[in-house]
Structure 1
């Protein structure tokens, strides 16, 4: 709950990527209202939601059933755990190519992809940066655009190295004006 006794809706930072919209946010419930945040996120109508939190962080945040709740709202949900401050796990390295392909397919089709971590910052930013590069953006330009939308998105050195190692996609990036 906020100091005034009212919860605040989760804030999403959105930017155009590959013909669709990519957004970053904290976990639902971070502002004190899990159900309200979940409804707010669902009203944005994402095609895909990628949770970048460990299972313990989901439990600690009261979001242990998040995957089922997001799927009940009609979006595809993928859990890619990345511990705070560290690089991707072996499991993430193995599953990432398929997750990225699904996310880029949604974005290319004009869809919306939502990324969230406990605070919606470092890990979210690094996954967003990786997706932007894999969708065809130049790494430095992608980092500049992402930082302009949400300056707190820079993760650890290990996370940044992982993001910047991405193969730049063959898809031509189309820059859309931000509305």
Structure 2
């Protein structure tokens, strides 16, 4: 399992394919455990987890002391309403882990589209300029954020932050 990592907010944010995608689930879990993330966010569907041989991923990750969050998004898709409702709390926990020097790993099927979308969103929410964040992300994982709809959701962090600041200030 190849982990594409970059510094964000004092910690390390990474994107990767689903463990087991290359046929070595046990090896991928060992590698993931060695990498020592504070949080793993799975963006694949339950069907994708099973197909990769990773049906036990959540339990395996938590057994090694890592917080696991499952926010399924269909391949090439964008967050649904349930994801959007859960996102503010999950984003806050992920950014706190990063600010504390921790590691956060996002994974989807191939480690590009959905993972890239959520990584870019977190980078922007952590205070990075959107264009700079996208350039840095694509430097470590070319092709990160695969569709216009994924890009729009990630970039909406700028608009939402601006609206929040206008109403909060």
- TM above 0.5, yes or no, is yes
**Residue from 48, 53, 66 that aligns with 1:62:** 53
**Pair 1:133 & 2:132 matched:** no
Contact 1:23 1:113 in 2 (8 A): yes
Aligned 1:35-46 pairs, distance under 5 A: 35-46=26-37
The structure in which a higher percent of residues are helix is 2
Distance (Å, rounded) in 2 between the aligned partners of 1:89 and 1:67: 21
**Pair 1:149 & 2:154 matched:** no
Count of residues in Structure 1 that have an aligned counterpart in Structure 2: 161
Contact 1:21 1:107 in 2 (8 A): yes
Contact 1:136 1:169 in 2 (8 A): no
**Residue from 72, 90, 95 that aligns with 1:99:** 90
Listed as ranges, the gaps of 5+ residues in structure 2 are 163-169
Listed as ranges, the gaps of 5+ residues in structure 1 are 1-9, 171-179
Residues 56-113 of structure 1: per-residue CA shift (max 9 Å, x gap) = 1111111111101100011000011111122111111110101100000000000000
Q: What's the TM-score once normalised by structure 2's chain length? A: 0.92
CA distance 1:94–1:37, shift in 2 (3 Å): same
Instruction: Describe the SS at the equivalent of 2:15.
Output: strand
Distance (Å, rounded) in 2 between the aligned partners of 1:169 and 1:115: 22
Instruction: Describe the SS at the equivalent of 2:68.
Output: strand
Contact 1:135 1:169 in 2 (8 A): no
Q: Where in structure 1 do 4 or more consecutive aligned residues deviate above 6 Å? A: none
Distance (Å, rounded) in 2 between the aligned partners of 1:136 and 1:42: 29
